[in-house]
Each structure stands twice: as structure tokens, then as C-alpha cells.
Amino acid sequence: MNDMNRAAVVNPALKQDLLTGFAVIGALFAALATAQIAGAPYLTSLIGRIAITSIAALSLSFLIGQAGLVSFGHAAPIGIGAYVALMLAAGGTTDLSIQLSAAFILAALIALITGPIALKTRGVTFIMLTLAFAQMFFYVASSLVSWGGDDGMALAQRSTLFGYQILRTDAMLAAFSIALLAVILLANTWMAHTRFGLVLKAMTENERRVAANGFEVNHFLLYAFVIAAGVAAVSGVLLANQANYVSPAYLNWHRSGELIVIVVLGGVGRLPGAVLASALVILFEEFLGHYTEYWKLGLGLTIVAIVLLRGRDLGAFFGVRNQGARP
Amino acid sequence: MSDPVLELEHLQMHFGALHVTRDVSIEVRPGEVHALIGPNGAGKTTLISQISGQLQPHSGSVILAGENITQLSVAERARRGLSRVFQISNVIQSYSALANVVLAIIGTEDGVWWRWRPALSDTSLADRAMNALAQVGLADKAQSIASDLSYGERRALELAITLAQNPRLLLLDEPMAGVGREESGALTKLLASLKGRVSMLLIEHDMNAVFALADRLTVLIGGAVALTGPPAEIKASPLVRQAYLGEEIQAATGGAA
């Protein structure tokens, strides 16, 4: 009987989720290599943007899909990360090990303050509170006159890593971003299957049961909220480097909304789906945006078509499994 | 006699002007099945919620194995060995039966924050979970998704969830509610098999089950304790007969009374 139990408990779901993750990362690297060989710098920068947006989308997908928290203020930690990069670079601190840690820690600390307040509520009220907090940071950024105020400011110089100018070209920036995305994607996929992931996912369905099992629900949700903010700030540092520019626009609520669209399009909780959806939205913006300023109409129609077609979302369309502990 | 597992001391609670718990004091002794009965609206579920921590009494105390837990959260009480089976079936529907029990075991140990190995591949967790499932007769349904189980099986699963936590006290809030006649008999048998090993506080409307299981009963009427005693004494009490039991007692005792 014991042997049977053991065999039954082996978890092929994790293996499959990891493989899908590897495949998505591999595809991004392949696209980057192709762009380099074909000598298409424009595509290279596009791929960099896709990877950076994917990191932000992943952190939100984790928050919505695995913790059940719909944050409408996810642009805030991204913007905070970007401003950390801007300010540190202006002071001459360009090393990524410092910039990324500082961005992660600052955004996490802020989430540690706003989180417990927002987590007193759920549902629509939670959405509105996260939006309100993000708007506060938007106005704080707009009022930083010495950092460009409304207009923002150019980055003094791109970040470095241990003295190397690792982000010198767009291709290097894209490669670094994809590598970071890979680490975050795989860590997140793994996390979904740990004890922590199992508890977190169960909370999205039935908080009362989980509390009766002996878990403090809000501690877990706050932890997820804080981690998601930290990861979003990491994407902010890269975003500042990618654009060579930082402005309050990064904290605009449109950005938060766009991220939610990406997460929904990719399939809530489907981590590789978030990457695919980031790619789709950015490609739409670029290519359709060339022809018409109404490109969002095209994007909207596509979302509707995909949702109707598959009844679900883009991740399902491409056969990406819903992640997390559903043994 | 050893110290009680659970002591309620002078619990009081109001919802506005409604006095739902009036100076309730009850003891549950180790290993006993203590049934809480009373007509609808007597405040049974409210009382259970004050014991498990979903509600806070306005005064009085809840003492678990000598420790005053009145101010503790639901989760803290659960970690001290207070397990509740809800009136409405309450499992993680999208998880397998096994994962539901594994989740409960994780709740009793440290390491949820830092153990990084996949939880469902942890054989020691799985073995303990299978053990609990076997106790309730669900061993062959371990891999079934909870939402695919029958209602009675889900109640049994809830019991496995609580058993896996090695509870000091099981709070059973109408475990038979909504369960068919056949499954209700099986569930009664299951609870009877746990008798003596686990202390239980049982709320139940099914008088057959109550008198089959209970060592002592407390009758709650209008939020206050009307009477506490062994089944024979409760059945014999004219007060209880008049206020509540009447027909049901006669049915449970074979209609001869």
C-alpha cells in the first residue's frame, strides 16, 4: 500500500510546468538571436520590452492567480523601481546588484505598509484601495521637481554589473532581461508547488477552510503582495534602462490596467501565458500602432475573439496549463 | 477525573438587542462525545463559532486544555488543537482529497515559509495524509478531486482533514446535515469508531445519531443552558421534552415511549 501511495504522490504537474516555462524562455532567446542575425535592432529592442513587461505581468499574474488578489495599482512598484534606478544612476551608483536590491526592498517595504490596509478588504474595495495608493505615488512622482516633475528625466547612464557595462547595447539589455525573466518564471513555477504555494492557492478558493487549518490568511496574502511588489520594481529598473528615461507616466493607472489585461489574456495563474500575452500586446501596439492610432480597437477585438474562441484565454489557446497546486 | 479538554466559562454574547448566548458554561471531558442540542435559533452554531474563534464573546472565557484561548485567532486556536467541521461542507473543491489532507497537516507544523520542496512529493506528508484518509474509508479516493466526491464523502474528507491535525477537540457542527439516510448511518458509525480517542463537541439535529454517540448532552434553549447530563437523564427530563424533544425522542427510543 505504501508503494502505491508514493507512486500516486509523485507530481508530474511541476515537471510539465517547468518544461513549459523553459520552452517560452527558449523561444524568447531564439527570437533575440534571430533578430541579431537578421540585423534588426528594432526587433531587438522590442524583444527587450517584451521580456521586461513579462516580468511585471508575471508578478501580477502571481498575485491575481495564485493569491487571488486583483491589484489595480501594480504600476506603482514598477514606477518606484524606475525612480530608484534614475536616482541611484544620477548619484553614480549604477551597479545592478545595488539597484535591483534597492528597488526590490523599497517597493517591498512600501507594500508592507499599504498591504495590511488594503488587505482589510477584498474584492472591489481591495481593487480601489490599491488604485488609490498607486495614484498617490503617481502624484508624488509628478511633484518631484528636481527629478523632472511631470516630464520626467533622462537616465544619467545605463546600469552596470560588477563594473561591466552589461546593458550597453539593446541586445545585451534584452538578453539580461530574458535571463532575469527566466529566473523569476522558474522560481515562481516552483513556488506554486511548495507548501507555501499549496496554502496560498487554497486561500483563493476558501479562506475559511485555510484559516481553520491553522494558517493566518492575511500573513500569507501580505507576503504574496510584498513579493509581487518587489518583483514589479525589478522590472521597473530594467524599464528605466530600456527607455533611458523615467517619468511619472510609468505610474499611471493606465499601466496598471494594461497589466491586468495582459494577465487576463494570458490566463489568470498561467505564468507562461503571461509572457505570451505580454508579447502579443506589445506586438499589437507596435505593428497595428503603425497603421492606426486606434490599434487598441484591434487589440480589444482580438481579446474578444480569443476569449470566445477558446472560452478561456490565450494560455489555453496555446495549450499552456493552469499553474499551481492542483494535484 | 482528569481536567476537561474544553471549558466554557460564563460566555455571553449579543447581536444588538438579541441576547444569543446567555451565561453558558460547559465542560467537555477528555475522550467524551458531548452533544449540544436545542431547537432552531437556540444559539448552537453561534456558540461553536465562539469556541472556534470566528466570533468573539462579549464576556466569559474559552479554555482549551487549561489555556485561556478567548483572545486567540481562528488559526491560533487551530494550531492548539481545535478542529472544526463546518455545518456546510467546507473543503478545497479543486484539490484532490489527498491535497486537502496534506494542507491540513502543513497547518500543524513549522516550515511552510521555508521548506522549498514540492509539498505533494513529500512522502512523509503523503503517508500521514493517507493514514487519515484510511481512517475515514477514503483511501481509494485519495486522488479524486474533492468536487467529484459525493456529499457524504466530502463530510468524511473533512473528518480526515481534522483527524490529520491530531486535534485535542473536534467541533462537529451538524455533520449529518444534508447527508442521505444511508450515508448518515455510515458517518455515525465512523464517528463512533473515533469515540474515546478524540474528544468531540457535537451539534446535530439527527437524534438517532446524537443518542448513538453522545456520552453527555447539553440542552441549549434561548441561548442558555437548560440542562446537562447523560442521555438517559436528558430523555427523562420533562422540561426538555416539553421545550424541545417531544416527538423526536419518542422516535429515537423506538416509539415505545
Domain assignment present for B63: yes
B173 and B248 assigned to the same domain: yes
Q: How many CA atoms lie within 13 A of A292 on its CB side?
A: 8
Of chain A, the percentage scoring pLDDT greater than 90 comes to: 58
B75 and B98 assigned to the same domain: no
Say whether B106 and A216 touch across the interface (CB within 8 A).
Answer: no
Domain assignment present for A290: no
Bridge-based pairing of strands B199-203 and B216-221 is unpaired
Q: Is A308 within 8 Å of chain B by CB? A: no
The minimum CA-CA distance between A10 and chain B, rounded to whole Å, is 5
DSSP letter for B3, please: P
Helices B123-135 and B97-108: angle between axes, nearest 10 degrees = 110
| pLDDT tens track for B129-184 | 999 999 888 999 999 999 999 888 888 898 899 889 888 899 988 888 777 777 78
Contact A96, A214 (CB under 8 A): no
Domain assignment present for B212: yes
Domain assignment present for A327: no
Structural domain span for residue B151:
91-166
CA distance B127 to B86: 25
Domain assignment present for A4: no
Q: Which of A72-81, A199-208, A247-256, B179-188 has the lowest mean pLDDT?
A: B179-188
The minimum CA-CA distance between A120 and chain B, rounded to whole Å, is 15
CA distance A190 to A181: 14
Shortest CA distance from A12: residue in chain B: B121
Residue B60 C-alpha cell reads as 466569559
Q: Is the pLDDT of residue A100 over 50?
A: yes
Spell out a b/e string for A254-276, using b for 16 or more CB atoms within 10 Å of the CB, else e.
ebbebbbbbbbbbbbbbbbbbbb
Query: At B257, which helix (H) or strand (E)?
Result: none
Contact A96, A261 (CB under 8 A): no
Strand order through the sheet with B169-173:
B82-85, B169-173, B199-203, B33-37, B216-221, B224-229
Domain assignment present for A270: no
- ipTM of predicted complex: 0.80
- Mark out the alpha helices in A62-151 (DSSP H runs): 75-90, 96-118, 123-142
Domain assignment present for B18: yes
Q: What pLDDT shows up at residue A62? A: 93
B101 and B201 assigned to the same domain: no
Burial of B12 (0-12, 13-18, 19+ CB in 10 A): middle
Q: Is B229 within 8 Å of chain A by CB? A: no
Q: What pLDDT shows up at residue A10? A: 39
Domain assignment present for B86: no
Domain assignment present for A185: yes
Confidence band for B255, pLDDT divided at 50, 70 and 90: very low
Domain assignment present for A182: yes
Residue B200 bridge partners (DSSP): B33, B170
B154 and B175 assigned to the same domain: no
| pLDDT tens track for B216-249 | 999 988 888 888 999 988 888 887 777 665 555 5
Q: Which of residues 39-58 of B touch A (CB under 8 A)?
A: 52, 54
Residue B238 C-alpha cell reads as 420533562
Q: What pLDDT shows up at residue B193? A: 87
Q: What pLDDT shows up at residue A140? A: 95
Structural domain span for residue A140:
13-253
Say whether B92 and A202 touch across the interface (CB within 8 A).
Answer: yes
| pLDDT tens track for A289-321 | 777 777 778 778 877 777 677 555 555 555 554
For B230, other C-beta atoms within 10 Å of its C-beta total: 12
B114 and B235 assigned to the same domain: no
CA distance A93 to A85: 9
CB contacts of B126 in chain A (<8 Å) are 5-6, 8-9
Domain assignment present for A120: yes
Of the candidates B49, B52, B39, which has an alpha carbon nearest to the alpha carbon of residue B15? B49
Q: Is the pLDDT of residue B67 over 80?
A: yes
For B235, other C-beta atoms within 10 Å of its C-beta total: 19
Among B92, B99, B127, beta carbon nearest to A206 = B92
Q: Is the pLDDT of residue A9 over 80?
A: no
Mean pLDDT score across all residues of chain A: 87
B177 and B255 assigned to the same domain: yes
Of chain B, the percentage scoring pLDDT greater than 70 comes to: 93
Integer angstrom CA distances of residue B246 from B213, B222, B237, B243: 20, 17, 11, 8
CB contacts of A226 in chain B (<8 Å) are none
Residue B51 C-alpha cell reads as 469556541
Long-range contacts of A195-199 (CB under 8 A, 24+ apart): A195/B106, A195/B111, A195/B112, A195/B115, A195/B119, A196/A220, A196/B112, A196/B113, A197/A66, A197/A324, A197/A325, A197/B119, A198/A325, A198/B99, A198/B102, A198/B103, A198/B106, A198/B119, A198/B120, A199/B103, A199/B106, A199/B107, A199/B112
Q: Is the pLDDT of residue A4 over 80?
A: no
Shortest CA distance from B89: residue in chain A: A209
Q: What pLDDT shows up at residue A323? A: 47
Domain boundary among B166, B193, B213: B166
Q: Is B13 within 8 Å of chain A by CB? A: no
Q: Is the pLDDT of residue A325 over 80?
A: no
CB contacts of A7 in chain B (<8 Å) are none
Domain boundary among B103, B134, B166: B166
Residue B230 C-alpha cell reads as 447523560
At a CB cut-off of 8 Å and minimum separation 6, what does A220 contact?
A67, A196, A199, A200, A203
Domain assignment present for B193: yes
Contact A34, A254 (CB under 8 A): no
**Residue B34 is part of a domain; what is its CATH number?**
3.40.50.300
Q: Which of A173-177, A301-305, B8-12, B162-166 has the lowest mean pLDDT?
A: A301-305
B67 and B184 assigned to the same domain: yes
Contact A53, A282 (CB under 8 A): yes
Residue A251 C-alpha cell reads as 505610474
Q: What is the 3-state secondary structure (H, E, C) of A23-34?
A: HHHHHHHHHHHH
CA distance B163 to B145: 19
Among A9, A202, A212, beta carbon nearest to B84 = A212
B95 and B76 assigned to the same domain: no
Domain assignment present for B53: yes
For B139-198, where are the E strands, in sequence order? 169-173
Say whether A215 and B107 touch across the interface (CB within 8 A).
Answer: yes
B152 and B175 assigned to the same domain: no
The minimum CA-CA distance between A206 and chain B, rounded to whole Å, is 6
Q: Which of A214-223, B143-152, B246-255 has the lowest mean pLDDT?
A: B246-255
Say whether B86 and A210 touch across the interface (CB within 8 A).
Answer: no
**Candidates B45, B48, B82, B92, partner chain A, best to mutate (most A CBs within 10 A):** B92
Contact B20, B191 (CB under 8 A): no
Of the candidates B35, B33, B29, B31, which has an alpha carbon nearest to the alpha carbon of residue B4? B29
Domain assignment present for A141: yes
Over residues A263-278, the mean pLDDT reads: 86
Count of A–B CB contacts within 8 Å?
A: 121
For A82, other C-beta atoms within 10 Å of its C-beta total: 31
Number of domains forming the structure of chain A: 1
Contact A184, A25 (CB under 8 A): no
Domain assignment present for B177: yes
Among B112, B116, B122, beta carbon nearest to A199 = B112
Over residues B46-51, the mean pLDDT reads: 91
| pLDDT tens track for A109-123 | 999 999 999 999 988
B68 and B177 assigned to the same domain: yes
Q: What is the DSSP annotation of B73-125?
A: -HHHHHHTTEEEE-SS--S-TTSBHHHHHHHHHHHHSS-TTT--S-GGG-HHH
Q: Is B224 within 8 Å of chain A by CB? A: no
Among A8, A193, A202, beta carbon nearest to B142 = A8
Q: What pLDDT shows up at residue A7? A: 36
Contact A220, A199 (CB under 8 A): yes
Say whether A195 and B130 touch across the interface (CB within 8 A).
Answer: no
Among A1, A190, A198, beta carbon nearest to B103 = A198
B75 and B143 assigned to the same domain: no
| pLDDT tens track for B84-103 | 887 676 899 999 999 999 99
Q: Is the pLDDT of residue A246 over 70?
A: yes
- Mark out the alpha helices in chain A (DSSP H runs): 2-9, 12-37, 41-61, 75-90, 96-118, 123-142, 170-191, 195-205, 207-212, 217-243, 253-266, 271-291, 295-310, 314-317
Q: Is A12 within 8 Å of chain B by CB? A: no
Number of domains forming the structure of chain B: 2
Among A11, A208, A217, beta carbon nearest to B118 = A11
B188 and B76 assigned to the same domain: yes
Over residues A13-23, the mean pLDDT reads: 86
Shortest CA distance from A215: residue in chain B: B75
Q: Is B178 within 8 Å of chain A by CB? A: no
Domain boundary among B150, B166, B182: B166
